[in-house]
A and B are shown apart, each in its own frame.
Chain A
Amino acid sequence: MTSLVYMNLQDTDYARSIVDAIVQDNPHAEIQHQPSMIRIEAPGRLDIRRETVEQLTGSPWDIQEMLMYVITLGGNVEEEDDSFSLHWNS
């Protein structure tokens, strides 16, 4: 069985756009709404792309701004200029 990577984001207006972008780019991801937070789980890998977030919000976005809204995450992190990914190697 592939391990799940996950990320919890604060349930705020801005973070909801990031969640929408994640859903668009990761059809295999599952979204759970919990009090004041949104949990995103996906088998193996999860990618967040700067372009998708920018398209949804209509304004420029630095990938590191994500650090404002993340509550927790699980998986190896790869941060690039245009994307942020979580994955397990196993």
Chain B
Amino acid sequence: MAVKKRLNAKEKYRCMTRDLDWEPSYQTHEDIYPHERFEGIKITDWDKWEDPFRLTMDTYWKYQAEKEKKLYAIFDAFSQNNGHTTLSDARYVNALKLFLSGVTPLEYQAYQGFARVGRQFSGAGARIACQMQAIDELRHVQTQIHAMSHYNKHFNGLHDFAHMHDRVWFLSVPKSFFEDARTAGPFEFLTAISFSFEYVLTNLLFVPFMSGAAFNGDMATVTFGFSAQSDEARHMTLGLEVIKFLLEQHEDNVPIIQRWIDKWFWRGYRLLTLVGMMMDYMLPNKVMSWSEAWGVYFEEAGGALFKDLERYGIRPPKHVEEANIGKDHVSHQAWSIFYQYSQATNFHTWMPTDEELDWLSSKYPDTFDKIYRPRFEHWRALQEKGERFYNPTLPMLCQICQIPLSFGEPDDPTTLSHRSAEHEGERYHFCSQGCCDIFEYEPTKYIQAWLPVHQILQGNCGGGDVESVVRDYYNINPGQDNFEYLGSTEHRRWQDWHPNDRNSAPADPDLQKAS
């Protein structure tokens, strides 16, 4: 009698995924999957879809359960041992405030996006992969909220992140990025999120920044970060497989995909400006500079990737040279924006210490001393005189990325980069040629952008002054959550916890105040 062999991984995957699919008998494919065609993508054979991780649902639950157990054991240990008191410095927590209000809601949007596209593909392999990713993303939202709930007990600005995500001016940058992707068709969504974002760019957030969290004593964040990344390795692989699959299906797909790669590379690059600033300015113990991280995770890794895709007729994204120049500028430009507008943020900002300025000078030899250091030293001098600088005007926002116009021209960092385009008698403004190109291809989509500054000026965000918008519309507690770090209640509380700190001079509340 022949003994039946155990199924190997490939056979098991086939039996437990594709074999569970069926041919519809009384409805047409077109009616069941109505979103599959309108983007112009041609799929000739869904069976060519390869899922490199042959993960079946039973194995998926087993590993995910194990990840959760490990993660929550560490959360418990962290809070039982008052882990927040052994961080490198309380300034670090401000990066977490940005993370919780800016990134965690994106995980939720990713969940919504993958749940939708997982419904819209007629290929079973793609549906299963998107379904698992949707569940992963929901897990990331939950674990991040749980991790941050401990910090919320001891620090300001973390109390209403979902509300803030929907309303606060700078949070419209990440929010509108994901909404742009989610309102696109299913194939553009996958190119945007699975490929351009997950494969090409998210490493820059979740790998060096999380390693930095560990280096700053934040056991909870590094653990949820790496637990999320263990799912991300699957998502990245999905991203690469999606692109290869679409390119192999039909040559007519190539120009469509190329245009999406161009668009979503630039969208993602602009979004990551915030991460650049977190790495260079908000981690008191430094791991690597933003410029170095860009070199390793984009120039090197992305270079290898685009070389691999060359044989399909895909070239590196448009404006990539500008992005590579920008690596030495954007973190400093972003920190300058947030320093000036700290009255309207749910986190604190500060000027770097001498030691930190020297570190920045050494990491950015071609740009920092020449352009940014003098500005920061000027602001610090003002602050020491009791005239801490807050910008009293509202900034002009880019119609696409929604970041205030404050980037320099790629070939001249001392000239403001500003483009504009006319559409049906109205003029729209952009921070860069990359964002302007995106608008010009789909103006009717982007004229609908909800630009926070326009909305404030139109009276759609409550009161007539910044303070009442911040307090009543954003639910940021003035004087607690916002303004300068030095002299803040949080700074003073940290000093109470660490009376023997080398920087133990009592925090002077006057340092916070504008003249």
Contact residues of A with B, CB < 8 Å?
3-6, 8, 10, 34-37, 63-65, 67-81, 88-90
Q: Determine whether B52 belongs to the interface, using a CB cutoff of 8 Å to chain A.
A: yes
Q: How many residue pairs at the A-B interface have CB separations less than 8 Å? A: 97
Q: Which residues of B contact A89 (CB under 8 A)?
A: 308, 311
Interface of B is mostly: helix
> Smallest Cβ distance from A41 to chain B, in angstroms?
9
> A35-B211, A35-B212, A79-B9 are known contacts. Are A3 and B230 too (CB-CB below 8 A)?
no
Q: Could you tell me if B303 and A71 are in contact, using CB atoms closer than 8 angstroms?
A: no
Q: Could you tell me if B52 and A77 are in contact, using CB atoms closer than 8 angstroms?
A: yes
State how many residues of chain B have any CB contact under 8 Å with chain A: 39
Q: Which residues of A contact B240 (CB under 8 A)?
A: 76-77
> A35-B214, A77-B237, A79-B9 are known contacts. Are A64 and B55 too (CB-CB below 8 A)?
yes
Q: Could you tell me if A68 and B66 are in contact, using CB atoms closer than 8 angstroms?
A: yes
Q: Chain B CB within 10 Å — which of A5, A6, A37, A72 has the most?
A: A72
Q: Would you give 19 A-B contacts (Cβ < 8 Å), ordered by A?
A: A3-B303, A4-B300, A4-B304, A8-B207, A34-B211, A35-B214, A35-B215, A35-B287, A36-B210, A36-B215, A36-B226, A67-B53, A71-B206, A71-B232, A72-B229, A73-B237, A77-B240, A79-B54, A90-B304
Q: Could you tell me if B301 and A74 are in contact, using CB atoms closer than 8 angstroms?
A: yes
State the 9 A-B residue pairs at the shortest beta-carbon distance, nearest first. A3-B304, A36-B214, A77-B52, A70-B233, A35-B215, A71-B229, A90-B307, A35-B211, A74-B301
Q: Determine whether B203 belongs to the interface, using a CB cutoff of 8 Å to chain A.
A: yes
Q: Could you tell me if B63 and A36 are in contact, using CB atoms closer than 8 angstroms?
A: no
- A44 nearest CB neighbor, chain B only: B304
- Rounded to whole angstroms, the CA-CA distance of A63 and B10 in the bound complex is 13
> Smallest Cβ distance from A36 to chain B, in angstroms?
4
- Rounded to whole angstroms, the CA-CA distance of A37 and B66 in the bound complex is 20
**Residue interface mask B1-36, A partner, CB < 8 A = 1:** 000000011100000000000000000000000000
Q: Could you tell me if A37 and B63 are in contact, using CB atoms closer than 8 angstroms?
A: no
- A69 nearest CB neighbor, chain B only: B230
Q: Which residues of B contact A67 (CB under 8 A)?
A: 53, 55, 63, 230, 233-234
**Residue interface mask B97-137, A partner, CB < 8 A = 1:** 00000000000000000000000000000000000000000
